[in-house]
Amino acid sequence: MDSTTQEQQTIDGFQTEKPDMGLKNTSTQEVVASELFHEENFFTRYGLNLASFKKGHYGKGSLELKRPMQARHLNMIAIGGAIGAGFFVGSGRALSSGGPASLIICFCLTGILIFNVVFALGELAVMYPISGGFYTYSTRFIDPSWGFAMGWNYIFSWAIILLLELTVCGMVIRYWDNSISIGLWIIIFMVALLFLNLFGGIGYAEEEFWASLLKIITISTFMVISVVLICGGGPSSGRYDDYWGTRLWQDPGPFRYGFRGFCSVFVTAAFSFNGSELVGLAAAESKNPTKALPSAIKQVFWRITLFYVLGLSLIGLLIRSDDLRLISESAYADVSASLFVLVGLYAGLRGYDHFINAVILISVLSVGMSCVFGGSRTLTALA
């Protein structure tokens, strides 16, 4: 190739070739960003010089996405986007497997890990707000083969979780009417998810905003009701009409099945926090991630502390860990085994279990949207 048609440039530690053809209106910074950093020198690639810590440029990139998301969208995705079947339904089986103390400890330990991971991801997303999220970062900072494996594992995990969420949606409907086959409901909800995703990133962002807002209001209301019930303020038709306190930590006790039961709760805890990284993927479609993302990442702390830890601590005081409803094999998908539904039933709160059931349905559909969003964006980056 003629040397006059190429211009070798080195900027901020990146080395790339800028052809004249088709790039007359493209800045050098955009060309550098669009190369996905494959042509970095050794010291920049492995973080051994100051250039590797400089803020990344947006650039057009090989797959430039639209940026319709606002700060309010990122905040709600961070604080409520990952709350779904694992928290509302699967936590019942976790309580039965390890007891209330194991539930609190395992969710705290897992939350600490998630907290650090999301903060690290947020820092990278602010510096390099490009499509692909952590797949692109793994490809750049570790190795392309590592990024390839991580990307496909991430896609497969969302594909499996999507099927689980659709199944839970069918189980939710069967709580009201079990005369219709669950397979029909799965098809209906799958079509609904496909329709919502036709609106692109803004459709996902708006759905997550309102769904997360509903989750926050519901869980906050539930915690207030739980405190009242623990203090004995429940209706006389229920079991919480007298001071309840911490009696369930005496009988059947804080732990179940010893160390084996304690370890089994980690499975549910890890699954419940799945999706916390979506805010990093959404940064590539945010109008101003430099300003919006830091505040959104900080919301993860409140989600872990208030909703997961405090919410499950209150539930552990109200529901027995040896409750027969929690022992069924389908407890991970059976909404009747949800701790939130059981509190309403045992407290004698009319209609509360139906309200919680409706919230669970919306929450599970919200996670289904996240499955499609996270999987499709990663698959696009892999392409």
pLDDT higher for 296 or 318?
Answer: 318
Domain that holds residue 11: 1-62
The answer on 88 and 51 residing in a single domain is: no
Decide which of 288 and 268 is more confident. 268
Average pLDDT over residues 266-282: 84
Does 371 have pLDDT greater than 50? yes
260 and 290 share one domain: yes
Task: Give the residue, 131 or 251, on which the prediction is more confident.
Answer: 251
* Same domain assignment for residues 10 and 143: no
Model pLDDT, residue 66? 67
pLDDT at 55: 55
Residue recorded with tokens 């509190």: 343
Residue 111: pLDDT over 60 = yes
pLDDT higher than threshold 90 for residue 105: yes
Domain boundary among 11, 34, 62: 62
Same-domain status, 239 and 330: yes
Place of tokens 């510096």: 127
Q: Which helix (H) or strand (E) holds 19?
A: strand 14-19
Q: Which amino acid is at 334?
A: D
Q: What is the mean pLDDT of residues 246-250?
A: 88
pLDDT at 11: 36
Q: What is the pTM of this model?
A: 0.75
The answer on 300 and 187 residing in a single domain is yes
**Structural domain tally of the chain?**
2
Please tell me the predicted confidence (pLDDT) of residue 45: 60
Q: Are residues 153 and 47 in the same domain?
A: no
| Predicted confidence (pLDDT) at residue 65 exceeds the cutoff of 60 | yes
101 and 44 together in one domain: no
Final residue before a domain boundary, out of 23, 47, 62? 62
Give the per-residue pLDDT at 288.
77
The per-residue pLDDT of the chain, averaged, comes to: 79
CATH of the domain at 91: 1.20.1740.10
**Which of residues 22, 43, 62 is at a domain's end?**
62
Residues above pLDDT 90, as percent of the chain: 11
Confidence category of residue 156, pLDDT binned at 50, 70, 90:
very high
Q: How confident is the model at residue 5 (pLDDT cuts 50, 70, 90)?
A: very low
Determine the Cα–Cα distance for residues 302 and 123; give it in Å rounded to an integer: 18
54 and 182 fall within a common domain: no
Q: Are residues 352 and 209 in the same domain?
A: yes
Tell me which amino acid residue 75 is: N
Rounded to the nearest 10 degrees, what angle do helices 134-141 and 352-382 cross at? Answer: 40
Cα distance between residue 319 and residue 342, in whole Å: 8
Most confident segment among 16-20, 64-68, 162-166: 162-166
User: Is 206 found in the same domain as 163?
Assistant: yes
Tell whether 123 and 261 lie within a shared domain: yes
- Say whether 65 sits in a helix, a strand or coil: coil
Do both 338 and 276 map to the same domain?
A: yes
